[in-house]
């Protein structure tokens, strides 16, 4: 090595120790811990955790009573109610990884640090899963005590698959919401969530996808939640619409997670190029 090259190497070797798995976890935990603090400190977080899911379960349960639905049909409807509430609460946490910084105009500090998308997405998702489980427990308690709905009726494995599917769907939605917000700023917040609700509607939350118009059925076939609902309801005796729905759901989930990661990475790069990342911090 020539002496000039040695000098150059010396400049680069401003040695920082190599990083390992512990650093990966610490960065992931940073986002989880922040979401936990915020959830603990803000009364509205308790509200979104208990009030809306409680209202949804009670109103839909009462509707099934009014319509004099069979226990099987009640399970069909209430499974959709649980799916919608858990997905909504969990995806909110993923979106908070970016929204907290946008609302407080502190965006640039986060991305000035050596963090990757996986840290912010996984960290905030973990808290989302925790909060989603609380929502599920609350809804299960209301559903079983008030309307006789047995959430374990399809078996524990089926329930675990269903919940995992809901949480992974929330991660996908959260990633895309983050990407849209980073790409277009805060004005994209409401439209992102409107799009989410529209897509969830097409997943057949309260009805089989077969009642949807043809074009909507085509769209629903590309939504993982459609398959997770189909698989879960099969456990209550409904004929599955799709072959191997859980498998299809996870395969689509893997595809969309990769796409969501790519979309968020691309949005970040673009916001670094356009200067939006700085504008979101002013």
Site residues for other proteins per CB under 8 A = 4-5, 7-9, 11-12, 14, 16, 19, 22-23, 26-27, 29-30, 33-34, 37-38, 41-42, 100-101, 103-106, 108-115, 119, 269, 272-275, 277-278, 281-282
Alpha-carbon distance values, 87 to 55, 94, 125, 133, 145 (Å): 16, 11, 11, 10, 23
**Shortest gap between Cβ of 38 and other proteins (angstroms)?**
6
Minimum CB distance to other proteins smaller for 24 or for 58: 24
**Shortest gap between Cβ of 164 and other proteins (angstroms)?**
27
**Shortest gap between Cβ of 122 and other proteins (angstroms)?**
14
Minimum CB distance to other proteins smaller for 37 or for 251: 37
What does the alpha-carbon distance between residue 54 and residue 47 come to, in Å, rounded to a whole number? Answer: 10
Q: Is the dihedral of CA 275, 276, 278, 282 positive or negative?
A: positive
Minimum CB distance to other proteins smaller for 29 or for 206: 29
Name the residue among 91, 104, 225 with its Cα closest to residue 166: 225
What does the alpha-carbon distance between residue 142 and residue 136 come to, in Å, rounded to a whole number? Answer: 10
**Shortest gap between Cβ of 194 and other proteins (angstroms)?**
21
Minimum CB distance to other proteins smaller for 15 or for 243: 15
Q: In a 3-state reduction of DSSP, which class is residue 280?
A: coil
Q: How is residue 17 annotated by DSSP? A: P
Minimum CB distance to other proteins smaller for 26 or for 160: 26
Minimum CB distance to other proteins smaller for 22 or for 243: 22
C-beta separation of 182 from 269 below 8 A: no
Q: Is 68 left (phi over 0), alpha (psi -120 to 50) or beta?
A: left
CA 122 to chain centroid, in Å, comes to 10
**Shortest gap between Cβ of 14 and other proteins (angstroms)?**
5
Q: Which two tokens stand for residue 102?
A: 């946008």
**Shortest gap between Cβ of 34 and other proteins (angstroms)?**
5
**Shortest gap between Cβ of 13 and other proteins (angstroms)?**
9
Minimum CB distance to other proteins smaller for 20 or for 214: 20
Burial of 189 (0-12, 13-18, 19+ CB in 10 A): middle
């Amino acid at each position: 090595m020539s002496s000039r090259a040695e000098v150059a190497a010396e400049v680069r070797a401003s040695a920082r120790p190599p990083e390992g798995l512990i650093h990966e976890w610490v960065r992931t935990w940073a986002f989880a811990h922040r979401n936990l603090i915020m959830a603990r400190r803000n009364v509205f977080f308790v509200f979104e955790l208990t009030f809306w899911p409680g209202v949804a379960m009670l109103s839909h349960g009462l509707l099934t009573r009014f319509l004099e639905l069979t226990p099987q049909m009640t399970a069909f409807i209430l499974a959709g109610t649980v799916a919608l509430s858990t997905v909504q609460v969990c995806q909110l946490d993923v979106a908070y990884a970016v929204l907290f910084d946008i609302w407080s105009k502190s965006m640039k500090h986060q991305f000035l640090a050596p963090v990757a998308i996986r840290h912010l997405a996984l960290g905030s998702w973990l808290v989302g899963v925790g909060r989603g489980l609380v929502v599920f427990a609350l809804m299960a308690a209301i559903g079983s005590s008030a309307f006789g709905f047995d959430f374990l009726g399809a078996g524990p494995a089926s329930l675990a698959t269903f919940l995992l599917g809901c949480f992974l769907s929330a991660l996908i939605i959260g990633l895309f919401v983050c990407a849209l917000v980073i790409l277009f700023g805060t004005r994209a917040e409401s439209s992102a969530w409107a799009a989410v609700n529209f897509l969830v509607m097409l997943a057949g939350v309260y009805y089989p996808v077969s009642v949807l118009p043809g074009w909507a059925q085509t769209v629903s076939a590309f939504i993982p939640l459609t398959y997770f609902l189909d698989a879960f309801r099969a456990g209550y005796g409904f004929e599955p619409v799709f072959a191997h729905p859980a498998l299809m759901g996870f395969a689509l989930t893997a595809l969309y997670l990769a796409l969501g990661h790519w979309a968020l990475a691309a949005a970040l790069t673009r916001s670094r190029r356009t200067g939006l990342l700085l504008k979101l911090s002013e």
